[in-house]
A and B are shown apart, each in its own frame.
Chain A
């Protein structure tokens, strides 16, 4: 008998072991749901999967009586647009600030203390200010996401830039490179895969700010919907929405990691 620490599952049992907790969770849910519905058919707390399916079908394929829109897709499109714009702005600003402060000591001296302080401000505490300054529209939500994750991306990129071996920067200079040439040809290309990694790490926070902003002031969006139907205890909508948000988050992360491998084949191995 091997020691437990040396026991490695093979491929099949690896997958089965991975699926097991999901199966257990679903089973537990189904049993509890059945038990509650047997006692009270109008119970709203643990709806059956069939009820969730009906509700989602209504949300996704039947036009809303009030606005005539397919609410589920409308919510998804609005939320993803906000998230994408917010993250895009954060990535661009973070890249510029990070590369400049990471590569040029004079920028670092000027901006690093500010960046540290800004990154300590809780973004949600700024939300009222945003509502006052830019109103309740789309801009406030996008700005919240951008403000929330820019400092993280900027600091991460700054650190990654500083990790580029000094030898490379000296070498480029001995080949005749100017500061701008070093930034554009040596630093920036090596930072791009790190930027995608930083975006992947910051998406969790991005979703948090998105849903918070939508919950407080919005007329559509995934976060808006789950906070809206909470008033009617509509767990049959909330639970599928949460699962859908999780799936979207997973897909975005997965696609970004694929993109990274496709665009920068040298970066995976070059790290070692």
Chain B
């Protein structure tokens, strides 16, 4: 990886909690993340991993504790320093592949419409084409998103996010709807972009294996306390915070056992929905 990485805390969560009415989703989450880390978030559904991601994104806010970005409270709306790729609906259906990425460049400019003209447009087009070639969409520049496969759409969404040079890239189950073979390609792509652009990545996934082998750090969200009569009385927290690459097989199985029943059920629902 990069040679002279400045090691400093980028994201800091101090005793974060989140509740909706009576339901507690998250409680007592305390973590620090340094610049350049690749964190994967796994856990059963409804365990708050997506909620945590949305807090970093700025569309949810913590009801307790504080979430800091570079020591300051994280902005409470999405911004260009934090890119996102959702599982779907991440690209604009009315623009071609190339237009999607050029539009992303246009949004960087502070104008009413974000349209680019003349030299600026030419430069943006050049840069967008290079970016798209990097993610393997060089042959599909003038297609509309509905003409792309699921994997290609996600490549486009990633290209769009990365061209804006975010510091943090958030991935919300980006490959959940893709075939296993295509997933492997996407993993290679994400790792490549992560190294090349020195990103800090947070990725939510259902697939424990993906979490175990893709990033540098794995978080498992789970409930520490459980009241069978009031399933939502206690929130989830980060129960395992592991550096990836130094783990023994039994641990994988142990975590797998803990989160499998629910995450498998989800997987099936997704499969039938497609």
Question: Is chain B's interface secondary structure helix, strand, loop, or mixed overall?
Answer: loop
Residues in A whose Cβ lies below 8 Å from that of B104? 175-176
Q: Can you name the residue of chain A whose Cβ is closest to the Cβ of B143?
A: A266
Interface residue tally for chain B (C-beta within 8 Å): 38
- Known contacts: A167-B88, A170-B59, A177-B107. The answer to whether A266 contacts B113 by CB under 8 A is no
**Contacts of A180 on B, CB cut-off 8 Å?**
112-113
**B-contact 0/1 string along A159-182, CB 8 Å cutoff:** 000000101101111111110110
Are B89 and A167 within 8 A (Cβ)?
Answer: yes
How far, in angstroms, from A111 to B106 measured CA to CA in the complex? Answer: 31
Docked-complex contact B114 and A184, CB < 8 angstroms? yes
Q: Is A267 an interface residue (CB 8 A)?
A: yes
Name the one of A174, A185, A264 contacting B103, with C-beta atoms under 8 angstroms: A185
Kindly list chain A residues whose C-beta atoms are within 8 Å of the C-beta of B243.
none
Is A42 interfacial (CB 8 A cutoff)? no
Task: Indicate if the CB atoms of A177 and B114 lie closer than 8 Å.
Answer: yes
How many inter-chain residue pairs (CB < 8 Å) link A and B? 100
Question: Interface readout for B98-129 with A: 1 if CB under 8 Å, 0 if not?
Answer: 00000110111011111100000000000000
* A interface residue count range (under 10 / 10 to 19 / 20 to 34 / 35 or more): 20 to 34
Query: Is B114 in contact with A189, judged by CB distance below 8 angstroms?
Result: no
Closest to B104 in A: A175
B161 and A175 within 8 A (CB): yes
Please tell me if B213 contacts chain A, counting CB pairs below 8 Å.
no
B255 contacts chain A at the CB level, 8 A cutoff: no
The reply on B145 being an interface residue by CB < 8 A is yes
**One of B27-35, B74-82, B178-186 contacting the partner:** B74-82
Contact status A170-B57, CB under 8 Å: yes
Give the secondary structure class of A's interface: helix
Q: Please pick, from B84, B89, B91, the residue contacting A174 in the complex, using a CB distance under 8 A.
A: B84
The docked-state distance in angstroms from the alpha carbon of A180 to that of B110 is 10
* CB neighbours of B107 from chain A (8 A): 172, 175-178, 181, 185
Within 8 A of B (CB), among A93-119: none
Whether a CB of chain A sits under 8 angstroms from the CB of B146 is yes
Within 213-246 of A, Cβ neighbours of B (below 8 Å) are at: none
B82 CB contacts on chain A under 8 angstroms: 174
Chain A residue with minimal CB distance to B145? Answer: A270
Asked whether, in the complex, the Cβ of B86 is within 8 Å of the Cβ of A171, the reply is yes
Partner of B166, one of A168, A174, A269: A174
Given A181-B114, A266-B144, A174 and B94 touching (CB < 8 A)? no
Q: Which residues of B contact A76 (CB under 8 A)?
A: none
On B, residues with C-beta under 8 Å from A are 57, 59, 77-80, 82-84, 86, 88-95, 103-104, 106-108, 110-115, 144-147, 157, 160-161, 164, 166
- Which 3 A-B pairs have CB atoms at the shortest separation, nearest pair first? A176-B80, A165-B89, A173-B78
Additional A-B contact list (11), CB under 8 Å, known A174-B78, A185-B115, A266-B93: A170-B59, A173-B78, A178-B107, A178-B110, A181-B107, A181-B112, A185-B114, A190-B94, A266-B144, A269-B144, A270-B144
